[in-house]
Amino acid sequence: MTESFLSFQSPFGSDQPAQNNSSSDNKIERLVGEVIETSLTSYTAQAYKLDEPPPFGGLVRVKDRAGTCEIYGAVYHSATGGLDPGRRAAARGNSQAPAHDEQVYTDNPQLSKLLRTEFGVLVLGCHKPGQAAERFSYIFPDYPPPLHYSVNLCPDSALVAFTQEKSYLRTVLEAAQVPGEELIAAILRRAALARGVEGRAFLVDSLRYLGRNLKQDYDRFRIIVEKCEGA
């Protein structure tokens, strides 16, 4: 799974063969983890499978306690470490190069029980009861996502619908302690790829929206544009 994340391709390089693995994988919703730390603006979740968090910039969804409001957010961070925050992982190999990196996990099966993968999610909007299926509110939910509720990675169709309106970009721009430029570029790249041939127009539209909000900060805007294009 990590491979599919890393092999993300730019939708614009026409000379490169398009690798649609990632998008074909994202046709259906997938359970990826569980909320372990929560707040109204962002939450942390633990991935059910070690080293298999949702991709950076991926759109994830949690239901609120009433079960009617769906809270949408983007993955802005993921990390793997020991279950016990006091214990750091120690090297397992020796000076001999292993035949395969994965070998260390088969040799030490207890590792998967001692390590865990966490990911952070920035809340971007919600889908309230009574709203049409393709419509979203780009505001914070009334309540934060409850602890231990399950986190689902949204399919491309939901990503396309969610990014149709552009105001979520403002939330990302203003969020503290989030790699804003990288996150925006990652969301836009994924959303553009999910759109196929219309990706370029979407990207230009979104960047224009961003530009209007970044009129006074051309340098930051330029960084985002470069990150979007040079994927």
Residues at the interface with other proteins (CB under 8 A): 203-204, 207-208, 211-212, 215-216, 218-219, 221-222, 225-226, 228-230
Nearer residue to other proteins within complex by CB, 119 or 168: 168
3-state secondary structure the chain: CHHHHHCCCCCCCCCCCCCCHHHHHCCCCEEEEEEEEECCCEEEEEECCCCCCCCCCCEEEEECCCCCCEEEEEEEEEEEEECCCCCCCCCCCCCCCCCCCCHHHHHCCCHHHHEEEEEEEEEEEEECCCCCCCCCECCCCCCCCCCCCEEEECCHHHHHHHCCCCCHHHHHHHCCCCCHHHHHHHHHHHHHHHHHHHHHHHHHHHHHHHHHHCCCCHHHHHHHHHHHHCC
What is the nearest approach in angstroms of other proteins to the Cβ of residue 76? 23
Nearer residue to other proteins within complex by CB, 29 or 205: 205
- Nearest to 120, CA basis, from 40, 59, 44: 44
Nearer residue to other proteins within complex by CB, 125 or 199: 199
What is the nearest approach in angstroms of other proteins to the Cβ of residue 225? 5
What is the nearest approach in angstroms of other proteins to the Cβ of residue 215? 5
What is the nearest approach in angstroms of other proteins to the Cβ of residue 61? 29
Nearer residue to other proteins within complex by CB, 65 or 212: 212
What is the nearest approach in angstroms of other proteins to the Cβ of residue 192? 11
Nearer residue to other proteins within complex by CB, 100 or 215: 215
Nearer residue to other proteins within complex by CB, 88 or 215: 215
Give the tokens for residue 198.
């219309």
What is the nearest approach in angstroms of other proteins to the Cβ of residue 228? 7
Residue indicated by tokens 């000379």? 15
